[in-house]
Amino acid sequence: MRPQSFQGFLVICLLVFVASRAEHSEEDHVEMEEDKIILGIYIVYDDAFIKNFLFNKGDKPFNDYFTALCNAAEAYFKDLRDPRVMLALAGTSRLEEKNIIQTTLKDRKTYVDGEKTLDKFYDIMTWNESLPEGVDVVFLVTGTETWITEEAVTNEWKGLAAPKSICFSAKTVQAKAVGIVYDDGKNFNGVPVLALQVAMLLGASKDSKRGKYCPSSQGYLTSSKDGGSRPALSACSRSALREFYFKNKDKDYICWNDFPKAAQPGNKRLPVDFYLEKDHDICESESTRRRTLYTCENIANAKRLLDCQVACCDYWQNREWFQKRVAAPDGTSCGKNTICLRGQCV
């Protein structure tokens, strides 16, 4: 073969190889795009939340707070692939139908009755066509602690989003799933229960109290109605979520295939970023009438802290006094590609 012919042959082979790689790369990209759940979240907050809310400065403080709340809940799924779970806050509004809030008295303390309130919230939100396009789940965020019960026979949690109740429709109208979250408006303590309800809506299974596999004693997200103590899915709940996804992902009516318009596009801030932006010290939320607490780093107790812990001190008689340890804000960096969630480095 002549040198010119051989060189031409090599060029042709190279072009074929590049085209083949490009085709496979495009296919891989499409596949990655398919194995993704993007849920549009809409939050309705009640007067109790407004009363407790600590950050009223700024143009849209509620959107800022709730975006960080949703981003933190999404982080509970950060190690999940096939599918990847993403949450987009599509909007927020104040609850107008105040009469839907049902209360119950337990041990002389008033709670929001989760089951009864959620039933009424379902009636006004499930087929509500005035919500922004792309909304899949509407959460009622209340500033009053919520009473959630567990059925003795079925072990079903009453007062949380109904499992697998995502993406159902009637003709041309797409229904919205509903859930309820208690959050104190300062510590993002509603994150675990919001993440739990997202997981259950997407088919994640509850961890077992008596079974050999995935016992609830391990404390993963679906181990309790409070969202457990470990900010991740167990192997069993992860497997169930994947099964639900692959069983339903190609159906015409599936709601997570659209792209909801975020209230704050590109905002990936987590609670730690929110606090920095608001110049808020996490220890300030732990202050009492007698003691104003702040983060301290230079005393002995502070130097013995574990990852994802913060030392809180007060100042008295010209010196710092250690008072308590608290969990570092969600999103605090604790190593390469790891962050703090619920006081743990994950």
Would you say residue 142 has pLDDT above 50? yes
Q: All domains of the chain, ordered by start, with CATH?
A: 33-271 (3.40.390.10), 281-345 (no CATH)
φ/ψ (deg, to 5) at 33: -65, -35
Q: How many beta carbons lie within 10 A of that of residue 236, not counting itself?
A: 19
Q: How confident is residue 11, by pLDDT bands cut at 50, 70 and 90?
A: very low
Whether 163 contacts 200, CB under 8 Å: yes
Work out the mean pLDDT of the chain and round it to a whole number. 88
The string of pLDDT tens digits covering residues 81-120 is 999 999 999 999 999 999 999 999 999 999 999 999 999 9
Query: Is the pTM higher than 0.85?
Result: yes
Helix (H) or strand (E) holding 240: helix 235-248
Q: Are 231 and 338 in contact (CB under 8 A)?
A: no
Q: What is the pLDDT of residues 163-207, one digit of tens each?
A: 999 987 765 667 899 999 999 999 999 999 999 999 999 999 999
Top pLDDT among 324 and 241 is at 241
Q: How is the chain split among helix, strand and coil, in percent rounded to 5?
A: 35, 25, 40
pLDDT at 168: 79
Q: What CA–CA distance (Å, rounded) separates 313 from 212?
A: 44
The pLDDT score that the predictor gives to residue 303 is 65
**Which of 84-88, 126-130, 223-227 is predicted least confidently?**
126-130
